[in-house]
Every structure is written in structure tokens, then in C-alpha cells.
DNA sequence: TATTTTCATTTGTCCGACATTTAATGTTTG
DNA sequence: CAAACATTAAATGTCGGACAAATGAAAATA
């Protein structure tokens, strides 16, 4: 880790990379303390400012945490699921918006992934998951609900479906797909009729999971996919018509 | 964006957050130039060093790029799929290793996600994808291949399967699941017999995709899941026996 | 013993200086 | 006039020192 070639490119980036590699390779363990900034500056033969910039890069990636004081310093941080979730969601959102991913592609990906969870969720969902889904369905049926709240509830419902699979790795991977879709979903104005249909499909999904009927859940999800895609097309057409 | 409460905690983190929010909310567009470090220092009423630490945080998240010189500065960066891939893979890897995710959970997640791609891949795979898969299968059949190379080839094969779905969002989400599994897969010593069986299943998958037979592909993937899980169990048992 | 004080260590912030890179501008020369 | 060259200005990158603030440990005190 002490290596640092006399490369011309961004010393702070090089140092960050060296430390990051040490962490990723397992050379440094969780909660292990890094040398102090002054010591690192000595080791790498750079100024303390440069070391600090490197450490801030690592902090931005949640790889280290710092504490002031006598026993303070920089420590290798255990990456928690919650933080990873949050990062994954914002990155996915940015990726969708910056690269102008079309609704169809995102929607297809989202539902394909969700359908992968359905069989596992049918087998393992707990009463808690079912209760969450029922509660969200109830919320979605409220007449005065704003479009934004409906979207939130939609996400919460599908999140419960995914979590029902009781596989944290799966939940993590899907968080990006489901939650990042929300801004795109907001493009679609949910009319009263489309909400009714969606709530109906959600109910079918919840029923199927309660009955532990994977095939029925898959069928309902498939219908929801098709319906959501048709809503997207309609919204696109409306937007195109408006432009002309 | 100019807001900055007189909070005493971590000015550079606060500033980074303010700028990050401006970028994520779409307030700043791709390739737009941020004010210079000196100007930002003025705006936020902090020193240039503090601003620099904030900018390094953003650079670490690939949100900005900086260029030196007269027309230089910090620019909002378009997040590319390639970078997002790389980040997603390393984050997933860290998440698996730091949280001691068991082989079974990771394996289940991986194959569940892959099976979500299979129908799409059966419909859309190009000759290119098929050629890649065949080439990797051929490579996997070489007798002198190291375990590491076999793992690499395995990842490449499954990557081609996923890419065959022709959905970049799906590919991105799955990169983390497939590639992050590699270190865990390395735990399993691939004996000659297990390799033979795996190559056989890969061939069946490739055949099914070539024939655009989604059901057959799913069946083969299902078998591969079960077989991989059994290999994992065997490896665990062997490791346990060794310890005693 | 229990409490308070002192102290050393470490991160957080600021300042000023200089190096380096880069493009635009000005200047010289063929 | 045009091309090559030199100058300059603006920006990031790096350095070194200084002080503030937090924090736990050791020392002094009641």
C-alpha cells in the first residue's frame, strides 16, 4: 500500500486508490484504524492537505469514517445495507436521467427483476409483509390521495414484495430498479380509472402471495407490466400531441 | 444551493451535499461548469481548502470532473454506464465480504436475477452474444485452465447471457450480482467432474437461447442453480471438516 | 476513592505561497 | 498577411504552517 509512483496524475487520487485497494483487498479489516493524517503524509511524502483530500474521497464512498480527538483518526467502515441502498438508488436515478433511458426499457427491467422475486416471496413472505402490502393497497384506494403519495405507496408496496423474498442481496439489487423508477413513474398521471386497475392488480398479487401461489403472482405481475407499459405509451402519445 | 447553515459539523460535507443536491435535482446540467474554487469559497464563506475537500468528495462519486488551466474548473459529469458498473460491482463485493453474506443467499439472488433475464435474452440475443457464449464454453473445456480463469470465463458467459436481453438497465443491475459473486465462487474448487457438468449446463443454456426456447433456458438455469448450491454445500462441509 | 484539571493527540479549518496546466492574447518574423 | 513564438491570465494542484476544537488519558486534587 505504501507504493506511490512519481506519476503526474493527481496525487490525492493516487493515494485514495492505494488505500481503497488495501481496504477492498481485505488487507485492512473493518474498524481498523488508518495511520494519522500526519503519518500518511510522511509515508507518501506529500503534504497533509493532499492526504486529507484523499481521505475525503474515501469518506464520500463510505469506506472510512473519521473521529476527532486523542483516540480519533480514520477507521475502515463497515458498509451497511442501508447506506448501500441509498447510494444505489441515487446512482440508478442519475443513470436513468442523465442517459435519457426510455420508459419502456426501465419498466421492462423493473418488472423482470420483480418477477424474479415473486416465487421466493410466495414461499417466504411473513404476515408482516402481507400486512404492509394490504396497508399500502388501502392507502392507494383513498380518493383524495395525491399523485406523489400514490407513487410513494406504489414503491412501498413493491418494496414489501421484494423484501418478502427474505434475501438481503436481492433486496439490495432491486432497490435501485424499483425506487429509481419513481421519477419516471411520476411522468404518468394516474387517472382514477388507472388507479383502480392498479389497486386491483396489487390486490391480486397480495392474494397470490398470501396463498403462496407463485404462478398466480407471476401472472398478476405480468399483467401489471403490460398495463404499466400501455400507460407509459399513452403518456408519451399525449406529450407528443401536446408538442405538435 | 447557496444555503449553508451555521452548523459546526463538517463544513466540507455540508458543501458537498449542497452541490450534490443541486446536481441530482437537475438544477445543474451535464457539462455545466461550477464556479471556481475561489468563488465557491467566497459564496460559502469558507476557505479554499474546505471547498477543495468538498469537490474531492464529489469527484469520488463521479459527479464532477476537473480540468486545470485557463478554461478549466469543475464540470458536472455525465455518469456513464461503465463507471456505474464498476462502482456497483465493487460496492456489491464489499457488501458481501463485510457483512459475511453466506454463499446460499448470494447464489440464490444471482440465479433468481439471471432467470429474470432468460426470457428476454431468448427473444433478443444476437449472433454476437451466442458467439461469445460458445467461445467461453470452449475456453471452459480446456483441460489446463486454472481455477481463476475458469471463474473469469464463467462470469463472461453469464454476462453475455444478461447482455443478450439488450436492456442496459437490466445489465447494470445484474453486474453487481454476477460479478460480485466471483470471490465467493472462488471458494469452490472446481474439480474436473464439476467443470464437466457446468460446461454441459452452459451448453444447454446456449442451445436454448439459440433456439429461442425460454422454457428450456429456464430449466437449465434452474438445474445450474441447484448444482451450484450443492457444490457450495460440499465446499462448506469440507471446510468444516478441515477445521475439526 | 472520586472528581477535576491538565495535557497530548488528532481531525477540522484557514491562510498564503508557489507550481503547473491551459487557452487566449500579443508579438515577432519570414 | 500568416505562421511561429512569447506573454499573460485564470484555474487547479501542492505545500507548509498555524490555530481551533474535540476527546480520551493521565495527573493532580478534594
Percentage with pLDDT > 90 across chain B: 59
Spans of chain A, pLDDT less than 70: 1-8, 189-193, 239, 242-244
| Same domain for B45 and B99 | no
Cα B202 to the center of its chain, rounded Å: 22
pTM: 0.84
B74 strand-pairing partners: B66
| Same domain for A135 and A52 | no
| Same domain for B171 and B199 | yes
pLDDT band, residue B176 (cuts 50/70/90): confident
pLDDT band, residue B233 (cuts 50/70/90): confident
pLDDT band, residue B232 (cuts 50/70/90): confident
DSSP A8: S
Quick one: pLDDT at residue A236?
76
Quick one: pLDDT at residue A134?
96
Helices A103-124, A192-210: inter-axial angle, 10-degree rounding: 30
Query: Span B145-168, mean pLDDT?
Result: 91
Chain A residues 182 to 221 whose Cβ lies within 7 Å of strand D are: none
Total count of residues recorded for chain B: 244
Minimal Cβ distance to B169: which of A106, A168, A169 = A106
Dump pLDDT digits (tens) for B108-147. 999 999 999 999 999 999 999 999 999 999 999 998 888 8
Quick one: pLDDT at residue A167?
92
Provide the CATH number for the domain around residue A38: 1.10.10.10
Look up the domain containing B52 and give its range.
Answer: 11-76
| Same domain for A162 and A66 | no
| Same domain for A118 and A38 | no
- Asked if residue A160 belongs to a domain, the reply is yes
Contact B2, B43 (CB under 8 A): yes
Domain boundary among B35, B59, B76: B76
Domain boundary among A59, A76, A93: A76
Percentage with pLDDT > 70 across chain B: 92
| Same domain for A86 and A123 | yes
How far CA A45 is from CA of A10, A40, A51, in Å, comes to 14, 8, 10
Query: In chain B, which ranges are continuous DSSP H helix?
Result: 11-24, 37-44, 48-60, 81-98, 103-124, 127-141, 147-163, 168-180, 182-186, 192-210, 214-243
Q: What are phi and psi of A76, to 5 degrees?
A: -65, 135
- Asked if residue B224 belongs to a domain, the reply is yes
**More confident of the two residues B68 and B233:** B68
Residue A5, CB, strand D, below 7 Å: no
Helices B103-124, B168-180: inter-axial angle, 10-degree rounding: 150
Domain boundary among B61, B76, B91: B76
Q: How many CB pairs under 8 A join A and B?
A: 147
Minimal Cβ distance to B117: which of A16, A112, A170 = A112
| Same domain for A171 and A50 | no
Q: Tell me the pLDDT of chain B averaged across its residues.
A: 89
| C-alpha to C-alpha distance for B224 and B203, rounded to whole angstroms | 11
The Å distance, CA of B6 to C1' of D29, is: 39
DSSP strand E in chain A: where? Answer: 64-67, 73-76
- Asked if residue B227 belongs to a domain, the reply is yes
Amino acid at each position: 500500500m505504501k507504493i506511490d509512483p512519481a506519476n503526474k496524475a493527481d496525487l490525492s487520487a493516487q493515494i485514495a486508490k492505494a488505500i481503497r485497494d488495501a481496504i477492498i483487498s481485505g488487507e485492512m479489516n473493518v474498524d481498523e484504524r488508518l495511520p494519522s493524517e500526519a503519518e500518511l503524509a510522511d509515508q507518501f511524502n506529500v503534504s497533509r492537505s493532499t492526504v486529507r483530500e484523499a481521505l475525503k474521497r474515501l469518506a464520500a464512498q463510505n469506506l472510512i469514517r473519521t473521529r476527532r480527538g486523542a483516540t480519533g483518526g480514520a477507521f475502515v467502515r463497515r458498509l451497511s445495507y442501508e447506506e448501500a441502498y441509498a447510494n444505489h438508488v441515487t446512482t440508478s436515478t442519475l443513470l436513468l436521467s442523465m442517459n435519457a433511458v426510455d420508459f419502456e426499457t426501465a419498466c421492462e427491467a423493473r418488472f423482470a427483476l420483480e418477477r424474479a422475486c415473486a416465487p421466493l416471496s410466495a414461499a417466504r413472505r411473513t404476515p408482516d409483509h402481507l400486512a404492509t402490502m394490504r396497508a399500502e393497497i388501502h392507502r392507494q384506494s383513498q380518493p383524495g390521495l395525491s399523485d406523489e403519495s400514490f407513487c410513494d405507496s406504489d414503491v412501498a408496496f413493491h418494496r414489501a414484495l421484494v423484501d418478502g423474498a427474505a434475501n438481503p442481496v436481492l433486496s439490495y439489487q432491486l432497490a435501485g430498479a424499483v425506487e429509481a423508477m419513481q421519477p419516471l413513474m411520476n411522468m404518468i398521471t394516474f387517472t382514477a380509472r388507472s388507479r383502480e386497475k392498479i389497486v386491483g392488480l396489487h390486490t391480486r398479487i397480495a392474494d397470490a402471495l398470501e396463498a403462496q401461489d407463485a404462478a398466480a403472482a407471476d401472472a398478476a405481475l405480468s399483467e401489471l407490466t403490460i398495463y404499466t407499459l400501455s400507460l407509459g405509451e399513452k403518456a408519451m402519445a399525449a406529450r407528443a400531441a401536446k408538442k405538435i
